[in-house]
Amino acid sequence: MSELTLAGAITDALATALDKDQRVLVIGEDVGQTGGVFRITDGLLGRFGDQRVIDTPVAESGIVGAAFGMAVAGLRPVAEIQFMGFSYPAYDQILSHVARIRNRSQHRFTAPLVIRMPCGGGFGAAEHHSESTEVIYAHLPGLKVVIPATPYDAKGLLLAAIDSPDPVIFLEPIRLYRLVREEVPDGYYTVEIGKARIESEGTDVSLITWGAMTHEVREAVEVLSGHGISAEMIDLRTLRPLDEDTIIESVQKTGRAVVVQEAPKTAGFGAEIAALIGERALYSLRAPVERVAGWDTTIPLKKAEHRYMPTTETIVAAARRTMEA
């Protein structure tokens, strides 16, 4: 076992995959000489060489297009996009080709490709560096969308993503990169894609979240406990395929649900979860489903960012409203 941050666990997963399978390669802007914008790929060039750790021009569509071709040809590329806000020039490649190749070819071809994207705000970055647009990828049939929140999950989910026969969007919450450390197994292991994690069990209200907001939700669970409210915390870990059964079983037990997302509220992934609960657990509800989200604006720059992000206090307030309904 090694004590790693989430960033360190991702680096370890990449090294483990490159060592295990000669078909695996890493491609992206500055992933080689520089070691990546967040130093995730630091040291991989020296260890595995420039035929498997490939620096590219600043051209996101080209990175994903090249990786897509490699995947269809039988390789296992892991493409890095420096920030989620930079991924939109590549969206046409993802929408028109990556997500569709299995359907288009009637299963003759697949694209075992991982596209890594740091995401989310809360660290005072410039425009286009703090986005949480996970819903635009979760909406696309043909993709899996994964977002780990712990070092253990980050390594296991990335190795599972690299093994997947179909393309995976692997979202990395920037705010969690070096926030905590935990023991992570050495060597190879996987965490199942499509399976949520119940971090803490409770009986009064279900708090459902993913990515960086797990930090605030974890704090909210403690605060609510002090008020005599037993909250169950669910970390989804995967947005597509969604672990519907874990959500529904929890809401049927507690009768209340609060969905917490960093993205703007309107048409966010939280709306999908609220709809799911309405479809499958309506008669278990003792209160309307609450959504805690960012405002319906572009995420502000550093000085106003704290006014945009959901907080422990807003999550606690939403949970208490469900108790009072």
CA–CA distance, 196 with 70 (Å, rounded to integer): 31
Side chain identity, residue 190: T
Q: Which residue, 323, 324, 325, 312, is CA-closest to 206? A: 323
Q: Measure Cα distances from 31 to 23, 46, 59, 67, 307 in Å.
A: 18, 11, 13, 14, 34
Q: Which residue, 237, 236, 204, 238, is CA-closest to 220? A: 204
Query: Catalytic residue among 129, 139, 227, 306, which?
Result: 129
Q: Which residue, 38, 41, 50, 33, is CA-closest to 15? A: 41
Pure H helices in the chain: 6-20, 44-48, 60-72, 91-93, 101-104, 134-138, 151-163, 214-226, 244-254, 269-280, 305-308, 312-324
Q: Do the Cβ atoms of 273 and 291 come closer than 8 Å? A: no
* Structure-block tokens of residue 160: 């599972």
Q: Do the Cβ atoms of 159 and 188 come closer than 8 Å? A: yes
Three-state SS string over 47-99 comes to HHCCCCEEECCCCHHHHHHHHHHHHHCCCEEEEECCCHHHCHHHHHHHHHHHC
Catalytic, 107? Answer no
Residue 205 per-residue DSSP state: E
User: Annotated active-site positions, please?
Assistant: 129
